[in-house]
């Protein structure tokens, strides 16, 4: 559906003959409301269940989020309508660039929220997904919007452009799909690099039990037992989820001793999430990941940089007086200040914590810093049995394609799994089961084109959009003066 999802909006813009920006803005806002209302619908349930909000306030807060996100398709519609008024229906072909420009903007405004970018819809369409290795998820978004633009031009265009545009668009999509098929069939990344057996421990701890003092020992013992099981099956690297330890690793002597004893006895590397506390003025807390070696040493610590709004901090606290229960319930974490790559023997890995994995540029920074294996740890218990855990996993899978790396994901309640460098799911768990996911991955050192160039394509789309808008405004001004 993604390939034609934007087409109704584009046809409406092409057939709108108004001179102002109100109607295009409303068209885009309506489109955005459908887009995000259908994808982040789970937000009110999270705010009500874990934020303590009354259901009416939770729905209002969720609606505000949808309304905010819908502003970006609205901005896209205004920009494209301006181009169409000057360049005619052919201006629809500038739609992919304008869409990417607004998606890229969404990545940065107010800290960024690049959840469910349109290109993420193609994560499981493996041949097409390979385009991400060239131009990233934003390039996939452009390709998807190009299909809608061509369809809209076939409806709203004139003369030969009604046929030429769809044919050219289909030819480009087919060419990229063909190249992607050959890339996957060639499969050189599956034979490169050193192999390592990994295990992902899915503890399946309910969110309302996670910090229960009465259950802390049992939770920890379950993780230890599952890890012993994984080590017995040959795992050299074991990964626990985000905030897996029911204690502060650096401040709990008994818990720390249990982990050190485990890795020393089983001769494994253990990567896990645990909160950090730093005394100072003021004191600070961090959502962190630790890598412990078979010698019992801490080989690296990464502090989460992109915190979840309304989950790990509350933006605009003074304005959100009506959400006092939510503000009180949310932990006030501080962000880390740099991406960290951790050593595992002669190799290196990185980890993105929770929804950080939806930031393509952060993962690119890890690889630029030398990461040969991508990991991500998360606690998706917040989301319940909604679409969110599946959305989260699919977005993570695209990072593997973009960077040409294996990606392993340990999630408290699922989905935990292994994704190969072509975005294919090697193995994965179901949600809400206690299990260990095992598999072999490789440490890779090659770089994809996107890995070397980053978001140059997205930046070029933004620049093209700005220059085109300037040209359109000048053309309109010149026409008005005549």
What range does the domain containing 297 cover?
Answer: 193-445
Q: Please tell me the predicted confidence (pLDDT) of residue 153.
A: 93
pLDDT digit string, tens, across residues 23-62: 999 999 999 999 999 999 998 988 888 777 788 888 988 8
Q: Please tell me the predicted confidence (pLDDT) of residue 311.
A: 66
Same domain assignment for residues 136 and 239: no
Average pLDDT (472-481) is 73
Q: Encoding tokens for residue 1?
A: 């559906």
Average pLDDT of the chain, as a whole number: 91
pLDDT digit string, tens, across residues 173-183: 999 999 999 99
Residues 6+ away with beta carbon under 8 Å from 430? 414, 415
Same domain assignment for residues 316 and 167: no
Q: Please tell me the predicted confidence (pLDDT) of residue 210.
A: 77
In which band, very low, low, confident or very high, does the pLDDT at 209 lie, cut at 50, 70 and 90? confident
pLDDT digit string, tens, across residues 357-415: 999 999 999 999 999 999 999 998 888 889 999 999 999 999 999 999 999 999 999 89
Q: Please tell me the predicted confidence (pLDDT) of residue 19.
A: 58
pLDDT digit string, tens, across residues 120-159: 999 999 999 999 999 999 999 999 999 999 999 999 888 8
Q: Would you say residue 322 has pLDDT above 60?
A: no
Percent of the chain as helix, strand, coil, to the nearest 5: 55, 15, 30
Query: What's the number of domains the chain is made of?
Result: 2
CA dist., res. 441 & res. 428, Å (int)? 14
Say if CB 382 and CB 207 are below 8 A apart.
Answer: yes
CA dist., res. 416 & res. 78, Å (int)? 41
pLDDT digit string, tens, across residues 213-243: 888 899 999 999 999 999 999 999 999 999 9
CA dist., res. 358 & res. 141, Å (int)? 14
Say if CB 44 and CB 59 are below 8 A apart.
Answer: yes
Taking Cα atoms as reference points, which of 307, 327, 328 lies closest to residue 319?
Answer: 327
Task: State the DSSP code for 249.
Answer: T
Same domain assignment for residues 158 and 16: yes
Residues 6+ away with beta carbon under 8 Å from 126? 180, 184, 422, 423, 424
Q: Please tell me the predicted confidence (pLDDT) of residue 481.
A: 65
Same domain assignment for residues 138 and 277: no
Same domain assignment for residues 419 and 475: no
Number of residues in the chain: 482
Count of C-beta atoms within a 10 Å radius of residue 18: 10
CA dist., res. 40 & res. 60, Å (int)? 13
Tell me whether residue 234 is exposed, middle or buried, using C-beta atoms within 10 angstroms of its C-beta: 0 to 12, 13 to 18, 19 or more.
exposed
Q: Which of 151-155, 196-200, 210-214, 241-245 is predicted with the least confidence, judged by mean pLDDT?
A: 210-214
β-bridge pairing 347-353 and 373-378: parallel
Same domain assignment for residues 329 and 461: no
Q: Would you say residue 272 has pLDDT above 70?
A: yes
pLDDT digit string, tens, across residues 429-469: 999 999 999 999 999 999 999 999 999 999 999 999 999 99
Say if CB 378 and CB 392 are below 8 A apart.
Answer: yes
Q: Encoding tokens for residue 130?
A: 């390979």
Catalytic residues: 242, 304, 354
**220 in any annotated domain:** yes
Same domain assignment for residues 254 and 181: no
432 vs 481: which has the higher pLDDT? 432
User: If you write DSSP's letter for every residue of 359-425 in order, what string do you get?
Assistant: -HHHHHHHHHTT-SEEEEEE-GGGG-SSSHHHHHHHHHHHHHHHHT--EEEEESSS--EEE-TTS-E
Computed on alpha carbons and rounded to an integer, the radius of gyration of the chain in Å comes to 24
Average pLDDT (272-293) is 90
**450 in any annotated domain:** no
Same domain assignment for residues 306 and 208: yes
Q: Which of 78-87, 110-119, 469-478 is predicted with the least confidence, judged by mean pLDDT?
A: 469-478
214 vs 420: which has the higher pLDDT? 420
Q: Would you say residue 110 has pLDDT above 90?
A: no
Same domain assignment for residues 316 and 241: yes
β-bridge pairing 435-443 and 425-428: unpaired
In which band, very low, low, confident or very high, does the pLDDT at 313 lie, cut at 50, 70 and 90? low
**300 in any annotated domain:** yes
**246 in any annotated domain:** yes
Same domain assignment for residues 87 and 158: yes
CATH of the domain at 268: 3.60.110.10
Q: Would you say residue 257 has pLDDT above 70?
A: yes
Same domain assignment for residues 432 and 462: no
**267 in any annotated domain:** yes
Same domain assignment for residues 433 and 472: no
Q: Would you say residue 246 has pLDDT above 60?
A: yes
Q: Would you say residue 323 has pLDDT above 60?
A: no
CA dist., res. 410 & res. 439, Å (int)? 13
Q: Please tell me the predicted confidence (pLDDT) of residue 22.
A: 86
Taking Cα atoms as reference points, which of 154, 172, 174 lies closest to residue 163?
Answer: 154
Bridge partners of residue 309, in order along the sequence:
313
């Amino acid at each position: 559906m993604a390939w034609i999802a934007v087409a109704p909006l584009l046809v409406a813009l092409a057939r709108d003959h108004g001179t102002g920006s109100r109607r295009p803005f409303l068209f885009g806002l309506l489109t955005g409301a459908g887009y995000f209302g259908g994808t982040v619908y789970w937000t009110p349930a999270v705010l009500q269940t874990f934020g303590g909000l009354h259901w009416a306030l939770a729905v209002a807060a969720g609606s505000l989020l949808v309304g905010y996100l819908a502003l970006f398709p609205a901005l896209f519609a205004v920009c494209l309508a301006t181009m169409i008024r000057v360049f005619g229906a052919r201006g629809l072909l500038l739609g992919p660039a304008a869409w990417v420009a607004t998606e890229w903007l969404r990545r940065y405004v107010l800290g960024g929220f690049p959840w469910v970018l349109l290109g993420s819809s193609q994560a499981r369409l493996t041949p097409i997904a390979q385009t991400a290795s060239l131009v990233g998820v934003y390039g996939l978004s452009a390709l998807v919007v190009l299909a809608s633009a061509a369809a809209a031009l076939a409806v709203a265009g004139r003369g030969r452009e009604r046929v030429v545009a769809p044919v050219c668009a289909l030819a480009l999509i087919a060419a990229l799909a063909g190249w992607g098929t050959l890339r996957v069939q060639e499969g050189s990344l599956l034979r490169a690099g050193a192999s390592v057996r990994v295990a992902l421990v899915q503890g399946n701890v309910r969110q309302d039990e996670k910090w229960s003092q009465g259950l802390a020992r049992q939770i920890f013992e379950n993780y230890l037992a599952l890890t012993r099981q994984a080590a017995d099956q040959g795992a050299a690297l074991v990964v626990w989820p985000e905030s897996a330890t029911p204690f502060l690793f650096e401040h709990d002597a008994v818990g720390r001793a249990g982990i050190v004893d485990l890795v020393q006895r089983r001769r494994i590397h253990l990567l896990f999430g645990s909160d950090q506390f730093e005394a100072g003025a003021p004191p600070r807390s961090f959502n962190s990941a630790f890598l412990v070696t078979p010698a019992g040493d801490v080989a690296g610590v990464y502090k989460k940089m992109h915190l979840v709004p309304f989950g790990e901090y509350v933006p605009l606290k003074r304005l959100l007086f009506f959400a006092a229960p939510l503000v009180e319930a949310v932990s006030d974490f501080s962000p880390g200040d740099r991406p960290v790559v951790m050593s595992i023997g002669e190799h290196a890995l990185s980890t993105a914590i929770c929804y950080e994995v939806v930031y393509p540029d952060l993962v690119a920074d890890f690889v630029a810093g030398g990461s040969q294996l991508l990991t991500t740890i998360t606690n998706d218990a917040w989301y319940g049995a909604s679409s969110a855990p599946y959305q989260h996993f699919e977005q993570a899978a695209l990072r593997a394609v973009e960077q040409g790396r294996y990606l392993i994901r340990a999630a408290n309640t699922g989905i935990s799994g292994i994704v190969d460098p072509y975005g294919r799911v090697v193995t994965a768990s179901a949600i809400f089961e206690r299990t260990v996911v095992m598999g072999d991955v490789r440490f890779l050192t090659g770089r994809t084109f996107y890995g070397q160039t980053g978001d140059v394509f997205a930046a070029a789309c933004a620049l093209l959009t700005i220059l085109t808008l300037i040209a359109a405004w000048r053309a309109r001004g010149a026409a008005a003066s005549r």
